[in-house]
Amino acid sequence: MGSSRANGHGLGRRDLIKRSAAIGLVTVPTMSFLASCASSDSGSDDKPEKKGTKSKKNPLGVNESAPLDFVLFDGGFGSEYGKDAVAVYEKNFPKAKVKFTPTQKIQSTLQPRFNGGTPPDLIDNSGAEQMDMGVLVGKKQLADLTPLLDAPSYDDPAKKVRDTLRPGIVEMGQYEGEACYVFNYAYTVYGVWYSQTNLDKLGVEYPETWDDMLKVCATAKKKGIAGWTYAGKYPYYLPFSLFPFIGKIGGRKVLDAIDNLEPNAWKDPAVKAGFEAYYELYKKGYVLKGTPGLDHIQSQTEWTKGNALFIPNGSWVENEAAKTTPKDFQMKVAAPSSLDSSDALPFGTLWASGGEPFIVPKNAKNPDGGMEQLRVMLSEASSKNFTQKVKSLSALNGGTDGLELSTALQSGIDALDKAGENVLNPRLQDWYVDLNKQKIGVGALGEMMAGRMTPAEAIKKCQDFADAAAKDDSIPHYKHR
């Protein structure tokens, strides 16, 4: 782990950024995760399905006639890849009836079922209505997925599932000890997304320094094009590029301290420098007008239309924005620009980690079936199907051989290669969902980028929110080991 620099040497750009004193209130609906959803009492007399007989073809001992209930988030990746994987499960277990439910309303759909003790067997817990994973783990609502990880892989029985996964996948699912409660099926590259075609039209290259970023934005502004846009209604998209920017400036320990809810973590000079740099985008008029009122789809559409050059996002954006993306767009992703030459980590440092979290509820009637469905999805065939259909890497290490890759997917692979060991993985978004989304995201970053808070005010808010969460005994707390 790199160290944060408390003295702030090398952060000279922060003195060039003027602050605004304006402050206001944001009117964005909030999402609350009701504690009752995570009650440790199932409240149901429903018995789990009887176990089946273990065999080479059925290493988890799935009851071959037991129904399977699978709820999938129908968002940026769509639902077709899940439907295709269900077809394989049904072929392997023809006596089993599978109920496959794609939805965007994860929390509102599943909360009553958790309350009643009748949760599905497998859930893709993602999207704006994502249930708080930290709460679910803390309230003992999730099954340990270690049996899946230790099972023979679908394609090569000589290898365990865990031995076929990309780096960090298992660790991301661990909240306490060695048990793994969450399986992130996608492998997401977060960063600054852009169109190579639109940069070429301006005669500019992707800026590797913040000074160059401002110059590119100034060039675009002269042509009536905004430098940046983002999901203003969901400003927790901003950290997809801002967090690795901060980590690059000050080192990994800055982000670790934030994840650990340490006192004064948000007051680190690297956070100050990162916030002030992004605030400068607002102050100079480089953010697309009206962005604070745009949702993720609207902001992506403005971007694919060429009304803004850059957008912070994850690799699901290619599939999610496919309908509005011109054929010659040449979508790409890059790591955040360097603040200056004294950054703790080199240019190329980015955030990449597992995404699209799948869970098997502890009180599911057919948890073995849920895990087996995931094992099917981790076959090379299902992984390649996922990559072809949604233009994203899966958790399977490899799975792209022989595929014709888009510019976006290839740029993600290239970015990972360039990053090497300098891949960051902030955990705030999965350890403390509400803190990250509604408080840090909406309550501070959204306000700052809308010009209703200065960076100093936003930092104070973030620290206050983190301190409150650290003192709140009603929520589980986690730390980097």
**pLDDT of 112:** 92
Contact 363, 44 (CB under 8 A): yes
Strands of 316-471, DSSP E: 331-334, 350-359, 393-394, 423-424
Least confident of 18-22, 212-216, 341-345: 18-22
Question: Is 106's pLDDT higher than 60?
Answer: yes
Write down the architecture of domain 48-187+355-403 according to CATH. Answer: 3-Layer(aba) Sandwich (3.40)
Cα distances from 275 to residues 10, 270, 339, 449, in angstroms, run: 16, 9, 11, 9
**pLDDT of 46:** 60
CATH 3.40.190.10 domain range(s) in the chain: 12-30+188-352+425-471, 48-187+355-403
Question: Is 5's pLDDT higher than 60?
Answer: no
Question: Is 153's pLDDT higher than 90?
Answer: yes
Q: What is the DSSP pairing of strand 183-195 with strand 393-394?
A: antiparallel
**pLDDT of 423:** 94
Question: Is 101's pLDDT higher than 80?
Answer: yes
pLDDT classification of 50: cutoffs 50, 70, 90: confident
Contact 134, 475 (CB under 8 A): yes
**pLDDT of 177:** 83
3-state class (DSSP) for residue 95: coil
Question: Is 198's pLDDT higher than 90?
Answer: yes
Phi-psi region of 194 (alpha: psi -120 to 50; beta: other; left: phi over 0): beta
Give the pLDDT mean for 299-318: 97
Question: Is 240's pLDDT higher than 70?
Answer: yes
Give the pLDDT mean for 50-70: 95
**pLDDT of 49:** 78
Residue ranges of alpha helices (H) inside 58-195 are: 80-92, 106-115, 133-138, 146-150, 169-172
**pLDDT of 115:** 87
More confident residue, 187 or 41: 187
Question: Is 445's pLDDT higher than 90?
Answer: yes
Domain 12-30+188-352+425-471 fold is D-Maltodextrin-Binding Protein; domain 2 (3.40.190)
Cα-based angle 95, 98, 100 (whole degrees, multiple of 5): 165
Give the pLDDT mean for 114-130: 93
**pLDDT of 48:** 77
The tokens 């309550």 sit on which residue?
Answer: 443
Question: Is 24's pLDDT higher than 90?
Answer: no
Distance CA 114, CA 454 (A): 41
